[in-house]
Amino acid sequence: MKFSRLSIFSLLLVFLMSACSESTSEQEQAAAKPDPLEAEQAANDAILNSDKESFSVLVGGTEIGKLEVEHDAENMQIDYEYRNNGRGPTIKETVTLGENKLPVAWTIEGATTFGNKVDEQFVMAGGNASWKDTTGTGSTTPEEASLYVAQEGSPYQLAIYAQALLADEDHSMPVLPGGVLRLDEIEKISLSGELNELSATAYALSGIEMNPTYLLLDDDNNMIATMSPRFAIIREGYEIQDERLRDLAAEYAAKRFEDIQKKVAHNYQGPVRINNVHIFDPATESLTEPMSVTVENHKITQVSPYDPAATANEVEIDGAGGTLIAGLYEMHGHLGQNSALLNIAAGITSVRDMGNNNEVLAELISKIESGRLAGPRIIRSGFIEGKSPYSSNNGNLVTNQEEALEAVRSYSNGEYYQIKIYNSMNPEWVPAMIELAHENGLKVAGHVPAFSNADAMIAAGYDEMTHINQVMLGWVLEEGEDTRELLRLTALQRLPGLDLNDPKVTKTIDAMVEKGVAIDPTLAIHEALLRSRNGTVSPGMVDYVDHLPIAEQREAKTAWSDISSPEVDEAYWKAFDQIIATLKIMRDRGIFIVPGTDMGGSFAYHRELELYQQIGMSPAEIVAWATYGMADYLGRSDESGSIEVGKLADFFLVPGDPTKDLKAIKAISMVVKDGTVYFPGEIYPEFGVQPFVDVPEVTQPEG
């Protein structure tokens, strides 16, 4: 049986109180009465001597799972599981530590969030290290002490790494299978919990991923928590600190990105002229002759034929004959601090956020608008979810129709573009929600609520369907099947058996055409879900995987789904063909399509656009659609979407010609957002990413 810290304290108090009751005199009873401070100390001693640790997994303050650890001086048994939005990992680990607290044996079993089987092993014996993970096998004989970094380990691995790094003189160590891991102290803090106050030290663990991980250790270097702005894993008894720790993580990340912003954001004094560029014109889907574009005070002030003669008092950036394109629109984001600057580096200057922690997103928007952090312009969606055991813990969670309508009203303040309805919503409440949203000038998009189908949501008044699978599930599910769970993804293996000429398919598509309902397919995430395979680089990452840190390179060779049987493997692969075929039918019928990733944007957005060539779109058509087309769809074409005098200075530069080869958008030399100039060649090294192209030549005015 496992006891929480509070349980141990309570048991000790009961024991001591029982001992008191055996005394026969008031004096004896007074002498035997327990001292609360002594009882607390006894409880803490019991905890420290215990071979068990327990942590709560929380998202936005809601507990969604547990991390349990049993260990002695050398061996650990770790159980980790959570469920959020109807899905999550189940991991069991056994770890043996050797000298310097380095793992010498490590086994990991279970399943990832989307169901991929985990069977990972590491052994260090006779100076030789060998391992097996989802990417394959490897071995080496390290020349110096090295730390194995697990691919699919639980978050408790952070405690293992931290203790090993603290035992190292410079808190830095080479890791297997590659890279260097570093632990940096941030600050000391104190935490109050159910039992007592703890002194803690906050650390940043970094080196093999694009962003650091933040964690807290106690004075004995045992893990108290690991945290991010939305997600935290906290030692049992200290869950009350959840919001504070998430705020700290947000602030630590903000300070890091603020420091990067100071290095990479160029706010030149006076006008900036980008010379010798071919401007992409979305109206003609073609490139102009060589031109110059001048920017001042966040706006485009001049577009003129290229003149190589220098102009006094202007900063000149040499476009070298490349292509200048208006900023891209990522239409399915869930933006956070970690992805904001990477989206800018990818030429994405606007993101439609499709659901977030409202307070966290509001804080991010404030930091971006103030110039403290770099990030895209954010178009907000008001997320509304029904309360259930499978809820996504985002936005507003509601338990009845009046609460659902009140949630719609709360988003009718002018700050939101639309509401987004999610899986656990009662479908009976949806028509009234849509009517109220439309009355208040809000669009409506969303998933199909469980036990309903796309036909019902189209009839109710959805303006846009979110995710192509949400539409197609209605054609393959049996009555009563629950899409709040992982079934909404695993059922896609049924798609190869679907006849796209079936009347039920035609009925849905006819209804979308008749009512003008758009589709947000999120093709890139479906490709990753259906076509990523263990040991092979995911198709969507082939062009850039070699530029990424080692952790991301390993992730690129990992399946998302459980494809352990040949039959399921084939079914998933062919399911993506059916998705492409369906989307082509929708396009041919005139259904409006919007491009978004649901994968953080950045590199994945370039792949998202690339995939639309498979439904018959040309490279030039795609670029026009992802820029002016989306600006027009969102009612913003008067200020963005094309490079014209008077519009916002949001655009990016590529050396190649994306109208001939869309891959040209993957090598960006410069991005301008709101008049601030960024060079991805300066940004990417801050994330451990190898740049794709050199920084353009910049000439400052004399004097």
Domain residue ranges in the chain: 1-50, 51-262, 329-635
CATH, range 329-635: 3.20.20.140
Q: What is the pLDDT of residues 655-676, one digit of tens each?
A: 999 999 999 999 999 999 999 9
- Determine how β-strand 62-71 pairs with β-strand 272-281: unpaired
Tokens of 113: 């969030």
Quick check: helix, strand or coil at residue 221?
Answer: coil
Quick check: helix, strand or coil at residue 136?
Answer: strand
Contact (CB, 8 A) for 651 and 281: no
Distance (Å, rounded) from C-alpha 673 to C-alpha 676?
A: 5
- For tokens 């109206």, name the residue: 283
Distance (Å, rounded) from C-alpha 341 to C-alpha 358?
A: 20
Distance (Å, rounded) from C-alpha 222 to C-alpha 624?
A: 54
pLDDT computed for residue 399 by the predictor? 97
Contacts 24+ apart (CB under 8 A), 120-126: 120/150, 120/151, 120/152, 120/153, 122/148, 122/150, 122/176, 124/98, 124/148
Please list, in sequence order, all residues whose beta carbon lies within 8 angstroms of the beta carbon of residue 142, skipping any fewer than 6 positions away: 127, 129, 174, 176
Please list, in sequence order, all residues whose beta carbon lies within 8 angstroms of the beta carbon of residue 619, skipping any fewer than 6 positions away: 613, 658, 659, 660, 661, 662
Distance (Å, rounded) from C-alpha 547 to C-alpha 650?
A: 26
pLDDT computed for residue 44 by the predictor? 42
Whole-prediction pTM: 0.88
Q: Which of 423, 415, 508 is CA-nearest to residue 458? A: 508
Please give the backbone phi and psi of residue 699, each rounded to the nearest 5 degrees, phi first.
Answer: -115, 120
- The Cβ of residue 117 has, within 10 Å, a number of other Cβ atoms equal to 16
What's the chain's Rg over C-alpha atoms? 28
Q: What percent of the chain has pLDDT over 70?
A: 93
E strands present in 499-598: 518-520
CA distances to 77, 130, 135, 142, 156 from 124, in Å: 18, 7, 19, 10, 20
User: Which one-letter amino acid corresponds to residue 87?
Assistant: R
**Which residues in the chain show pLDDT less than 50?**
1-49
Q: Which of 602, 637, 651, 16 is CA-nearest to residue 332? A: 602
Tokens of 546: 């070699």
- For tokens 């009961």, name the residue: 14
Quick check: helix, strand or coil at residue 216?
Answer: strand
Tokens of 593: 């399509």
Contact (CB, 8 A) for 104 and 98: yes
Distance (Å, rounded) from C-alpha 402 to C-alpha 170?
A: 58
Distance (Å, rounded) from C-alpha 146 to C-alpha 137?
A: 17
Please give the backbone phi and psi of residue 17, each rounded to the nearest 5 degrees, phi first.
Answer: -65, -35
- The Cβ of residue 503 has, within 10 Å, a number of other Cβ atoms equal to 9
Contact (CB, 8 A) for 372 and 258: yes
Distance (Å, rounded) from C-alpha 321 to C-alpha 234?
A: 54
Distance (Å, rounded) from C-alpha 67 to C-alpha 390?
A: 19
Please give the backbone phi and psi of residue 526, each rounded to the nearest 5 degrees, phi first.
Answer: -70, -35
Please give the backbone phi and psi of residue 23, each rounded to the nearest 5 degrees, phi first.
Answer: -70, 150
Q: Which of 397, 359, 390, 387 is CA-nearest to residue 229? A: 359
Contact (CB, 8 A) for 670 and 696: yes
| Greatest alpha-carbon span in the chain | 104
Please list, in sequence order, all residues whose beta carbon lies within 8 angstroms of the beta carbon of residue 453, skipping any fewer than 6 positions away: 473, 474, 477
Tally: H helices and E strands in the chain: 20, 31
Quick check: helix, strand or coil at residue 80?
Answer: strand
Adjacent-strand bridge partners of 213: 205
Distance (Å, rounded) from C-alpha 530 to C-alpha 37?
A: 57
